Structures are given as C-alpha cells and as structure tokens.
C-alpha cells in the first residue's frame, strides 16, 4: 500500500505538467458560433459588425478579386444573410455584388485580437473545404453544409473563426480565401472580434510547474511522516 501511494505521487507531476502545457494553448479554430463563443468567453467584450451601420474604425479589408476592386459594404435586398440586407462584397452587379470563387481578402486590425469570426454566405454549390480562414500557417476550412445556417431556400451561412488560447498568440491579420477550381459566388457578414486585453491571468507554465512540483514534494513528505507513526 505504501508503494502504491508513492507511485501515485510520482505520476502527479507529469499529469500536472501536462495541464500546465495545455494552459498555453495556441489558436483554436471553430466552424460553429456556439463553440466559438464558448472558447472566447471571458476574454473581453465582443464587437459585432453586421454592416447595417458604418463599421467601426481600427481595421481595414483588402483583397484580390476577379473584378479588380477592393471589398466594400454592399446592399442587395434580394439576398439572404444572417442579419439585415447589408454585407461585405464587391461592386460587381453581374454577381449581385458578391465575391467570386478564387477571390481572397485580408482583414487587418490596428490592435491585436484574441478572437475573430465571420459568416460566409453562399449557395448550395459550395461544399466543405471550399473556403479557408487562415492566420499565418494555421488554416481552418469551412465545415459541411449540414452544419451551416440556412434560410431553407438554398442559401447557407458558414461560420469560421479563431480564438487565441493565450495572450501570447494574439493576432491582427486574418485571410479568407476561396477555391477557384469552379465558379461560385459568396459574401461575408456578421464579423465579430475580441481585442486582446491584459496578459492572461493563467499562470505561466514554468511557474505553475514549479508550484505543482513543490506541492507534490510536500505530499510525499507528509506520507513519509505518517508512515513513521
């Protein structure tokens, strides 16, 4: 029994060190607004940009589009979007002011973010993997059509977002790309982001590890003292 107790204390440092490493998580991608909000809860106030009013300052959008024009706020009452009639698109009346397959856009923020997400709205011809959201070398693809929000008449809104698991992983540039191997159109709506605030309140892994090892050592000493009695 004494040996089993000592072995239990011996494996605790490894387990707790693993938890300490998990506290320093990197970017977490999400294709669900529910999971995105859960991952970003407690990081600070979230800003929603639905393009129904003038977007706030502090960020810009640049892009490489088939029509050679930069992304801009558009309004087409005949299109379905998660909220209202305004959306981020491009001045191309032939496609109802929507982007075309192969178009790319980059969102650049003046201040670092802990979370960023958006909806990409497309028709039934878009399938899983046709859209990607990336931060540096970390890439997230859109999920299956079955997980998208829909109006029930052939339009689908795919959510895509990233949450920085630690303040050290904050970012200020995000790129949305669309495949160009076949033709489809899409637009962007309901951006949401959370600015990076103060440094994470989670203890640094090294400091946390030392504290946990000290606690384990104290436990072993307590076991030995009890065994002498």
Mean per-residue pLDDT, 1-15: 42
For all residues of the chain together, what is the average pLDDT? Answer: 83
**Residue 99: half-sphere exposure toward Cβ, Cα within 13 Å:** 30
**What pLDDT was estimated at residue 198?**
53
- Mean pLDDT of the 206-221 span: 44
| Strands 171-178, 131-135: pairing kind | antiparallel
Say which residue the tokens 């959370």 belong to.
Answer: 194
Look up the pTM and report it.
0.77
Beta-strand pair 171-178/99-100? unpaired
Report the SS3 class of residue 221: helix
Average pLDDT rounded to a whole number, residues 47-75: 95
| Cα 19 from Cα 84, distance rounded (Å) | 43
User: What is the C-alpha to C-alpha distance for residues 97 and 78, in angstroms, rounded to an integer?
Assistant: 11
CA distance 220 to 114: 40
User: How much is the pLDDT for 93?
Assistant: 84
Residue 216 pLDDT > 90, yes or no?
no
- Residue 113 confidence class, pLDDT cut points 50, 70, 90: very high
CA distance 108 to 172: 6
- Taking residues 85-103, report their average pLDDT: 95
Read off the DSSP letter of residue 32.
-
What pLDDT score was predicted for residue 7?
A: 41
CB 188 within 8 A of CB 34: no
Average pLDDT over residues 35-50: 96
Beta bridge partners of 28: 163
Q: What span, in angstroms and rounded, lies between the C-alpha atoms of 21 and 113?
A: 22
pLDDT value of position 109? 98
Contacts of 19 (CB under 8 A, 6+ apart): none
The better pLDDT of the pair 6, 150 is held by 150
Q: Is the pLDDT of residue 99 over 90?
A: yes
């Amino acid at each position: 029994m004494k040996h089993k107790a000592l072995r239990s204390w011996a494996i605790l440092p490894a387990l707790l060190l693993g938890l300490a490493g998990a506290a320093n998580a990197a970017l977490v991608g999400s294709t669900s607004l529910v999971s995105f909000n859960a991952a970003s809860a407690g990081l600070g106030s979230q800003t929603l940009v639905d393009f129904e009013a003038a977007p706030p300052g502090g960020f810009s959008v640049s892009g490489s589009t088939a029509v050679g024009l930069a992304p801009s706020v558009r309004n087409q009452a005949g299109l379905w979007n998660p909220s209202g009639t305004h959306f981020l698109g491009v001045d191309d009346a032939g496609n109802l002011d929507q982007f075309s397959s192969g178009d790319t856009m980059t969102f650049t923020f003046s201040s670092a973010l802990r979370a960023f997400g958006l909806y990409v709205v497309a028709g039934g011809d878009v399938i899983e993997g046709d859209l990607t959201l990336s931060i540096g070398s970390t890439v997230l693809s859109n999920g299956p059509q079955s997980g998208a929000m829909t109006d029930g008449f052939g339009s689908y809104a795919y959510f895509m977002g990233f949450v920085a698991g630690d303040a050290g992983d904050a970012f200020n540039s995000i790129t949305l790309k669309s495949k160009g191997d076949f033709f489809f159109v899409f637009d962007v709506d309901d951006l949401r982001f959370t600015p990076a605030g103060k440094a994470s309140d989670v203890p640094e892994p090294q400091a946390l590890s030392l504290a946990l090892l000290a606690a384990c050592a104290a436990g072993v000493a307590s076991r030995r003292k009890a065994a002498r009695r």
